[in-house]
Structure 1
Amino acid sequence: MEAILTLLAVFLTGSQRETRPRMSEFSVKSTIISRYAFTTVFCTMVNSGSEAREAVFEMQIPAAAFISNFTMSIGNKTYYGEVTGKEKKHSNDDKAKMKKPPSPVNGRENGYETFKASVFIPRKMQANFLLHYEELLQRRLGKYEYMVSIRPQQLVGRLRVEVNILENSGIISLEVPPLRNSKHKGNGKAEGDVSPPPSTVIGQTKTLAKVTFSPNVVEQTKIARNGILGDFIVRYDVNRELSVGDVQILNGYFVHYFAPMDLPPLPKNVVFVLDSSASMVGTKLRQTKEALFTILQDLRPEDHFNIIGFSNRIKVWQQDRLVPVTPNNIRDAKKYIHNMSPTGGTNINSALQTGAKLLNDYIAQNNIDARSVSLIIFLTDGRPTVGETQSSKILSNTKDAIRDKFCLFTIGIGNDVDYKLLERMALENCGMVRHFQEDEDAASHLKGFYDEIGTPLLSDIRIDYPEDNVEQVTQNFFPNYFNGSEIIIAGKLINRTSDSLHVEVTASNSKKYILLKTDVAIDLPSTNDIRAVPGLEDGRADQNYIERAWSYLTIKELLNSRLKSNDNQEKEYLTEKAKSMALAYNFVTPFTYLKMREAGIHSEPPHEELISPSTDGIGEKLQSLQGHKAPPGTR
């Protein structure tokens, strides 16, 4: 979802009083099957007063997730959400159901979005809210992270989070860290405290895990009297045996997870482009310097680097060259960074042009081949104010300068950054974007982002399947593979009579070109079918977690392609294709939204048939897996 979704649901008669309804239950159930997560949030609010009162159901969900359904009941009436395609101009009726989104700093660039439904509850009655969303977990720094926001904003009589994990490859490194009570991902705990939150129960077998968190009111009070407990997080990884990766096939769809290990790192050629304009004064520049001191220390002897500081002027540390990593060069680089002082405006265009020229010249002069990785790490806290200030021109200039020879990774700090510009610059130049708030943890977040891209293991990765066996395959070429990450490809099978799928992986590593081949058996064990998992049988016949992972990836790629496109006709085609797929799979996207309807009035099927799969557990084995209270220090 590109915008924060806000639903103004049906308002019932009655007047509003200041005393808000009491939340009697807040529960989250999630089932993660092969990295694909189905999440259901259930909330009950009770109006015990003598007049109608307004109730607000608010839930922060990961920005990468797609809402797949929403249902609510107020008194004896039930309303369900119907995923509908957005038109270029909404009718007045549609506009009445949607608010303009809040400011961008509260949105997707911070890693979450806010779903909000507001209703009036008649006196002595209650309202129930049921929200479903889905996401494909991304592997970072060697772990998958699943996060649930627990911010009911009041103490809750019955509060419970249940996370069920099914990974046929085998679950390893399961951990539940302390609650993260900053929405900007600050830990909020003393360094070294790794114990799970109080009342957490963890149970695990080889392929199944069940984690529950159910603090009573007293335990909630000890965490936060205002009912804002924080983010409940589960991290884990899976066993990896095949070098070609894990290919899973079900009902005509496949998903391929590729994350090789134990490879020597590729040499890096990196240019750090750092904003030193006047707005960086204080905390932002101090934290940037702290992070860079640590990052420089982590560079390897085979790496080469340079540093550019920019404001209205461009200051290059080492003119016209990248220098090798030596103790003296690291020492001098730290001195240069230490002496950076905030002044002047923000000339983003010239800074990027200078960084790109440095790298291009270095690559040309040193005959750099595919067995090294070149990249720019660009950091700013603001918008272009000096030189070229038009975003479209900066984008085209940057793309022309880089010419697909290396990748650009962008970082924004604070509330004034032009996130859309940074996002598109990264997307168009095979990089990633991150946005951090100006808080006490920004330095560690910067270092964490560098750690994600600091150890390239492969370059020019291409994954192929026989053309007569597959169709509608998602992206299958990747410029780089970084240690601790994962490459995911999905597609549809054409030849359903074949008993195997041939897979070929070609790439470059630090010493040679590599080629991996294998044939994956196409067997359809019932244990892989989401409908065969007890508790999920009520899913519709087409509920196939691999198919939904494929649709999720395909829609994401269409949205990214649209964002990068400058051709109006192409953008319209990508919009319609993304919208069509979102409607087919009941996903809320930038081009679809939820329209609330009262059950039985519009002759549509009952709301239960429109809800995504329930997440009541992942089988009798898991249901009997009671686990134990996690002792302090358990990871």
Structure 2
Amino acid sequence: MYIKVQPKQLVRHFEIDAHIFEPQGISMLDAEASFITNDLLGSALTKSFSGKKGHVSFKPSLDQQRSCPTCTDSLLNGDFTIVYDVNRESPGNVQVVNGYFVHFFAPQGLPVVPKNIVFVIDISGSMAGRKIHQTRDALLKILDDMKEDDYLNFILFSTHVTTWKDSLVQATPANLEEARMFVKNIRDEGMTNINDGLLRGVHMLKDARERHLVPERSTSILIMLTDGDANTGESRPQKIQENVRNAIGGKFPLYNLGFGNNLNYNFLETMALENNGLARRIYEDSDANLQLQGFYEEVANPLLTNVEVEYPENAILDLTKNNYPHFYDGSEIVVAGRLVDSDMNNFKADVKGHGALNDLTFTEEVDMKEMDAALKEQGYIFGNYIERLWAYLTIEQLLERRKNAFGEEKENLTAQALELSLKYHFVTPLTSMVVTKPEDNEDQTSIADKPGEATSVTPSMAYLTQQPSFPNPYYYVDGDPHFIIHVPGKNDTICFNIDEKPGTVLRLIQDPVTGITVTGQIIGDKGSGPSSGTGKTYFGKLGITNAWMDFRIEVTTEKIILGNGEALSTFRWLDTVTVTQTGLSVTINRKKNMVVSFGDGVKFVIVLHQVWKKHPVHQDFLGFYVVDSHRMSAQTHGLLGQFFRPFDFEVFDIRPGSDPTKPDATMVVKSHQLTVTRGSQKDYRKDTSVGTKVLCWFVHNNGEGLIDGVHTDYIVPSLF
């Protein structure tokens, strides 16, 4: 068990207290962390185990947490790790409760099965720049991790298909060095011919097996990386799927990696699932090469192939998936089911698979009476946990099969998954959300039928009409764009504009402690572009990320895209829906606004401003409001974020200005003396069409003297 420890401050009462119960008995228990010193090891950390029970306690005093005797910052920073082993030699673990069983299987110490791997890489023109560079970096690192028993080849596809070698070659030092030179010279060109690239890879793997060019006890793997849709050769997704499925014929898995967001991810995922593999989205970030390398590490060490998990005949009902083409080091097989006779005395499970050297069978036998007695000692932990785990796995596998089903089969799978979801109260794509369109009289739509969606959401059966409440203080940017800062100690407001060209992206908030970042991209009136120096400007796109939650939101005037790890969910401003997960809530109020909350203490509201579609000048834009920021750290910065910390200002010498209705004054703020003008802006939180008038002191010249540095310091290259 890994516990992230990073309090960022001294904690008066800090304690990690873990109680472990293992029915088969504990043989070893340890706890460690990189930040634990000898002093902490002796007095703050205690660990013990006996029989079926173990206990770990980590309770450092305030002084023990200090990074030095007089420091006020904490040395607690890293993973606190608890490891234990059980009194058994079998790599399996079976638990049976109330007629349901779950079987965990994770062998260790087995020799790695040699792999025959073909990388099918998209080098089309859309891969130009950072994508192709990061792909080269990842492939070079992967080559460093290749084992000499492995066989490999590279296939590059654009308009045409080229190969490194005519057939698979062994990963000898000489061949790996030649492969590195090949990878370093990969260049982008042409269009995207996915069909021919994949079929060439399939043929190469099958040919190597048929001609006995690779070891008999080896496993074949096909990995494809692309950043777009097929646009030359065979470009119909369903036809490509059919061609690849027929060519592979279930002989080996296909893993599809989708680079970036501008691709048909559903197509890649469906094709991978049809061929015993999976798909992953690689985000176009600075660490994309590490994402690619990380995926390879997951499949780099196959320990078993053709794994079958067998149970006594006629003794099991409703079994979840029990056959796996590959078992990789670091993964785990979990099978669950129901017993025909819950009063049986013994339960036996066999796991069979092909290893690197021979065929293996692992047998697990459970004395049911002995297990019942052990579980009663700690029954409150289990309850109906085993039954719920069986239901969870069953629903998950039904939904996965549903992705590749059509017609009556899809309806049956949907009905089964829905019935279990409702019975066990699971939040699933079938039960979690209904999008209501009260003005359009359209049918209600399940998120399960929306492309590329995999975010858990809460039920939203009725149209939301009540606006959320907004505690003070507040900060927002809206209109041209006008930045409005409410200063609670003064019960007054300061405002300023940022004048930049369309296309410019500004950093609004950045907090390294909470991991929250907010950016906004400027748009102009219709017909204006980056070279335009006239006309009004607005925010047309906003980006919100939480680095610690691996979550991002992209908001435009047309749609909202939620990214949770590799899963993407797309909503329209016509939707009314609430999306939730631990520590996060996103509510879209149809055609009005959306509310984003990170836990209790960080809340943003994004307001949609819509204009007449045929307006000759203006276009839709967004307003961004911070209505609760008290949980954000003192290190928060950005054009808005820097004002979350308390600051003071004085206004005096109020005098007539150039506009008789807007007096000028002198303001002293942050050791600067500025000339400011009394004006007003609009607050659109409660009324998106008319707004509420807000009086403020306007700071000229892009907030110069009020903001830290100059406004160009806040320009960033892209939304994320």
Q: Please classify the TM superposition score into its range, dividing by the shorter chain length.
A: 0.5 to 0.7
- Helix, strand or coil for the counterpart of 2:403? helix
- Helix, strand or coil for the counterpart of 2:191? coil
Q: Does 1:375 align with 2:221?
A: yes
Does the 8 A contact of 2:15 with 2:57 survive in 1?
Answer: no
Partner residue in 2 for 1:390? 236
Report how far residue 435 of structure 1 moved: 1.9
- Helix, strand or coil for the counterpart of 1:564? coil
Partner residue in 1 for 2:416? 577
- CA–CA distance in 1 between the matches of 2:417 and 2:80? 30
**Deviations 1:67-117 (CA, angstroms, capped at 9, x unpaired):** xxxxxxxxxxxxxxxxxxxxxxxxxxxxxxxxxxxxxxxxxxxxxxxxxxx
Does the 8 A contact of 1:526 with 1:532 survive in 2?
Answer: no
Report how far residue 578 of structure 1 moved: 0.4
Q: Which amino acid aligns with 1:549?
A: L
Partner residue in 1 for 2:192? 346
- CA–CA distance in 2 between the matches of 1:212 and 1:391? 55
Distance 1:241 1:345, change over 3 A: farther
Partner residue in 1 for 2:320? 474
- CA–CA distance in 1 between the matches of 2:115 and 2:195? 24
Does the 8 A contact of 1:555 with 1:578 survive in 2?
Answer: yes
- CA–CA distance in 1 between the matches of 2:288 and 2:134? 6
- CA–CA distance in 2 between the matches of 1:420 and 1:237? 40
- CA–CA distance in 1 between the matches of 2:182 and 2:357? 34
- CA–CA distance in 1 between the matches of 2:174 and 2:302? 25
Q: TM-score, normalised by structure 1?
A: 0.58
Report how far residue 211 of structure 1 moved: 8.7
Distance 1:405 1:233, change over 3 A: farther
- Helix, strand or coil for the counterpart of 2:286? coil
- CA–CA distance in 2 between the matches of 1:145 and 1:434? 24
Superposition pairs for residues 249-288 of structure 1, below 5 Å? 249-288=96-135
Does the 8 A contact of 1:413 with 1:436 survive in 2?
Answer: yes
Report how far residue 307 of structure 1 moved: 0.4
Does the 8 A contact of 1:244 with 1:505 survive in 2?
Answer: no
**Deviations 1:558-591 (CA, angstroms, capped at 9, x unpaired):** 01111122x3111110000000011111011111
Q: Which amino acid aligns with 2:395?
A: I
Does the 8 A contact of 1:473 with 1:492 survive in 2?
Answer: yes
Partner residue in 1 for 2:261? 415
Q: Does 1:296 align with 2:135?
A: no
Does the 8 A contact of 1:246 with 1:257 survive in 2?
Answer: yes
- CA–CA distance in 1 between the matches of 2:96 and 2:3? 23
Q: TM-score, normalised by structure 2?
A: 0.51
Distance 1:597 1:364, change over 3 A: closer
Q: Does 1:504 align with 2:344?
A: no
Does the 8 A contact of 2:302 with 2:327 survive in 1?
Answer: yes
- CA–CA distance in 2 between the matches of 1:585 and 1:336? 54
- CA–CA distance in 2 between the matches of 1:307 and 1:472? 42
Partner residue in 1 for 2:296? 450
Partner residue in 2 for 1:556? 396
- CA–CA distance in 2 between the matches of 1:364 and 1:474? 34
Report how far residue 422 of structure 1 moved: 2.1
Does the 8 A contact of 1:499 with 1:522 survive in 2?
Answer: yes
Report how far residue 213 of structure 1 moved: 12
Report how far residue 353 of structure 1 moved: 1.0
Report how far residue 402 of structure 1 moved: 0.7
Identity of aligned residues (%): 35
- Helix, strand or coil for the counterpart of 1:481? strand
Distance 1:414 1:267, change over 3 A: same
Partner residue in 2 for 1:587? 426
Superposition pairs for residues 149-188 of structure 1, below 5 Å? 168=23, 170=26
**Tell me, which stretches of 5 or more residues in structure 2 are unaligned?**
8-12, 66-76, 433-457, 463-720
Partner residue in 1 for 2:609? none
Report how far residue 245 of structure 1 moved: 0.9
Distance 1:325 1:369, change over 3 A: closer
Does the 8 A contact of 1:414 with 1:437 survive in 2?
Answer: yes
Q: 1:327 aligns with which of 136, 150, 173?
A: 173
The alignment's C-alpha RMSD in Å is 4.0
Q: Relative contact order, CA 8 A, sep 6+: which one is greater?
A: 1
- Helix, strand or coil for the counterpart of 2:162? strand
- CA–CA distance in 1 between the matches of 2:198 and 2:159? 13
Q: Does 1:399 align with 2:245?
A: yes
Q: 1:306 aligns with which of 146, 153, 156?
A: 153
- CA–CA distance in 2 between the matches of 1:316 and 1:265? 27
Distance 1:374 1:399, change over 3 A: same
Report how far residue 148 of structure 1 moved: 12
Report how far residue 368 of structure 1 moved: 6.2
Q: Which amino acid aligns with 2:417?
A: A
- CA–CA distance in 1 between the matches of 2:183 and 2:103? 42
Partner residue in 1 for 2:543? none
- Equivalenced residues, count: 416
Q: 2:332 aligns with which of 469, 479, 486?
A: 486
Report how far residue 195 of structure 1 moved: 4.6
- CA–CA distance in 2 between the matches of 1:411 and 1:306? 17
**Deviations 1:90-149 (CA, angstroms, capped at 9, x unpaired):** xxxxxxxxxxxxxxxxxxxxxxxxxxxxxxxxxxxxxxxxxxxxxxxxxxxxxx778999
Task: Give the structure with higher Rg (CA).
Answer: 2
Does the 8 A contact of 1:167 with 1:238 survive in 2?
Answer: no
- CA–CA distance in 2 between the matches of 1:375 and 1:459? 12
Report how far residue 312 of structure 1 moved: 2.0
Report how far residue 458 of structure 1 moved: 0.9
Distance 1:396 1:237, change over 3 A: farther
Q: Does 1:355 align with 2:201?
A: yes
Report how far residue 283 of structure 1 moved: 2.0
- CA–CA distance in 2 between the matches of 1:176 and 1:388? 55
- Helix, strand or coil for the counterpart of 1:592? coil
Stretch deviating more after TM superposition (324-333 or 368-377): 368-377
- CA–CA distance in 1 between the matches of 2:242 and 2:6? 38
Superposition pairs for residues 427-438 of structure 1, below 5 Å? 427-438=273-284
Q: Which amino acid aligns with 1:490?
A: A
**Deviations 1:221-265 (CA, angstroms, capped at 9, x unpaired):** xxxxxxxxx999978675583335111111111111111111111
Does the 8 A contact of 2:29 with 2:47 survive in 1?
Answer: no
Report how far residue 532 of structure 1 moved: 2.9
- Helix, strand or coil for the counterpart of 1:569? helix
Partner residue in 1 for 2:90? 243
Distance 1:526 1:264, change over 3 A: same
Distance 1:313 1:234, change over 3 A: farther
Does the 8 A contact of 1:370 with 1:459 survive in 2?
Answer: no
- CA–CA distance in 1 between the matches of 2:174 and 2:404? 41
Distance 1:161 1:587, change over 3 A: farther
Distance 1:368 1:469, change over 3 A: farther
- CA–CA distance in 1 between the matches of 2:27 and 2:286? 33
- CA–CA distance in 2 between the matches of 1:237 and 1:349? 48
- Helix, strand or coil for the counterpart of 1:246? strand
**Tell me, which stretches of 5 or more residues in structure 1 are unaligned?**
1-143, 151-157, 178-193, 220-229, 599-635
Report how far residue 473 of structure 1 moved: 1.0
Distance 1:496 1:234, change over 3 A: same
Does the 8 A contact of 2:98 with 2:342 survive in 1?
Answer: no
Q: Which amino acid aligns with 2:244?
A: T
- CA–CA distance in 2 between the matches of 1:494 and 1:362? 46
